[in-house]
A and B are shown apart, each in its own frame.
Chain A
């Protein structure tokens, strides 16, 4: 299926190649990190395999200074904004290089510098935050736009309703981006909603809603760019549904063969977003199939180097349990931290690397 380049008028050849590279970088990083999980080197992992166009298209449709409230599968967007790969990997390891200090499970990276906020794991909670950030930007008179991600499962959560409702009432500059990968762990979209689509829900809230081909990076980028432009011009929120597919399990802890037809997976693999981008680039004369393996090899080497750097980092110390609860340190935390510090080395069975 051809990509809809009419959605991104004026896109340069260089930008097209950059989008491809960004998607391949996610695919390769996910593959390596899932392998690391299988080897016991990290505790958990969830890939974005099959959804790379939705992630990269969305980030490419906004400015790098716009705020992002991610869900589970948008780590690749953070990397696209320049977050160093070794820091992304260190977050998955949870060692002393992790800027989140080992406080979160893998695949929960965040960075203030990159305007990507920390996600909790509780489905949908970030949607009211996205609206709140957008309301604040509007109150302050900034031209910041907010991108709030969700999956199809989150459309059932109370926060979906509340987040969209508040956004519409205040005409907040936020774009809700639903990566409808059709499966919330083992539950298909038909069991999440009686609606025919996610996008149609927008109408009831009084905002534009659009379903796009989530495996077409141009369609996603174009839709997000239009919605973000409208939000920046005071036009309020938009709900975009990227129809895509989760090719792998929900996470490293999931076995999708228990609940879905392998033929369905094969069908969607034939619509793989990276393959479609490669076909597009070849048709345009910007790429030849022989270039693909070297590109993957180059990125694989980058990821390998980043893994070596991240794995060589110092472990966290027990003290890292006790910081960042409050700006100041109340007596009970001081006391508890001192108690841990005072234990003899032999007693410290929890000390060392983040337990995997």
Chain B
């Protein structure tokens, strides 16, 4: 066992999968010789050959479209979209093709593949290197969506996604690729199940439900709340789809107060779905209105990203609001 960053854990998982499963191939822009713009695929082409780890022409629709063809034929492609912001030319291929093959063909054809994409802000990337567009994809039957928040989870979830029989969108919050978020990561092949949330901090007064990089911001807010004697439970969804509805309802029943924290624009974000589920299934335990802390309904700004991105202070304000309601 060695300590690793999230980025290192991605590389480790890919290497582990390439070594174990001949069907695994990696493709994308700059993933070969240079090892990806973030170095997620560093060294993989040298170790596993250009046949299995290769650069593509610069066209996201082609990356996903050809990966679909490979999956149909029996490979396990892992296409990389360099930034999630660049996925929209491939949107049709993801939502209408990859996610629909099993259904539309009555199970004759399936599309097991993992689309990796760095997501989220906090790296001074402006609108086109910072978005969190999980909600667009969460509206897609046939697609799974995962967003890891720790190195050990990253490896285990990515290996689960690679084993999965259906297409998985694996969103890596690039802000927490950073070496600040290092931890021990087990060697070899292990999996963390998709569709299972994790309680990152136990608490009794209020639940903060979050995913992606915002989980770490929520933990920071929880620490600050503790100074005010407020006990915060932080739930990390880990998977957007399938959603761990039992864990969501359990934390709500524990605390009776809910803050939902996410980076994407507030309106129509995945937080709205979480709020709706809680309202439908656990309204009787709520002591206060559900609060959302999210990005604003604006494009993602470059210079003023710190204004856009929810920080611990904004989450703490929401915590105060629902606790004192």
Contact = CB atoms under 8 A, between A and B. Distances in A.
Given A110-B105, A118-B109, A162 B142 contact: no
B245 interface: yes
A11 interface: no
A128 interface: yes
B217 to A, nearest CB: 28
A14 interface: no
A153 B71 CA distance: 27
B66 A128 contact: yes
Given A118-B101, A118-B105, A122-B92, A129 B65 contact: yes
A331 B75 contact: no
Residue picked from B62, B100, B101, B104, most chain A C-beta under 10 Å: B62
Interface stretch (A35-43, A96-104, A344-352): A96-104
A165 B245 CA distance: 44
B73 interface: yes
A117 B109 contact: yes
A115 B195 CA distance: 33
A239 B68 CA distance: 21
B105 A166 contact: no
B128 interface: no
Interface residues of B, number: 49
A104 B104 contact: yes
A131 B72 CA distance: 11
B97 A129 contact: yes
A134 interface: yes
Nearest to B54: A170
B70 interface: yes
B79 to A, nearest CB: 10
Contacts of A323: 107
Contacts of B62: 128, 131, 162-163, 165-166
Interface in A123-141: 125, 127-137, 139-140
B22 to A, nearest CB: 9
Contacts of A332: 242-243, 245
A165 B69 contact: no
B61 interface: yes
B166 interface: yes
Contacts of A135: 66, 69-70
Contact of B106 (A101, A130, A163): A101
A191 interface: no
Given A118-B101, A325-B103, A326-B102, A110 B109 contact: yes
A139 B52 CA distance: 8
Contacts of B142: 325-326
Contacts of B131: none
Nearest to A112: B108
Interface of A: 67, 69, 98-101, 103-104, 108, 110-112, 117-118, 120, 122, 125, 127-137, 139-140, 144, 158-159, 162-163, 165-166, 169, 323-328, 330-332
Given A139-B51, A162-B61, 18 more contacts: A99-B108, A120-B97, A127-B65, A128-B65, A128-B93, A129-B72, A132-B67, A132-B70, A132-B72, A140-B74, A140-B75, A159-B61, A166-B62, A324-B102, A325-B142, A330-B195, A331-B242, A332-B243
14 contacts: A103-B104, A108-B104, A118-B105, A125-B96, A128-B69, A132-B67, A166-B56, A166-B57, A323-B107, A324-B107, A325-B103, A325-B142, A330-B195, A332-B243
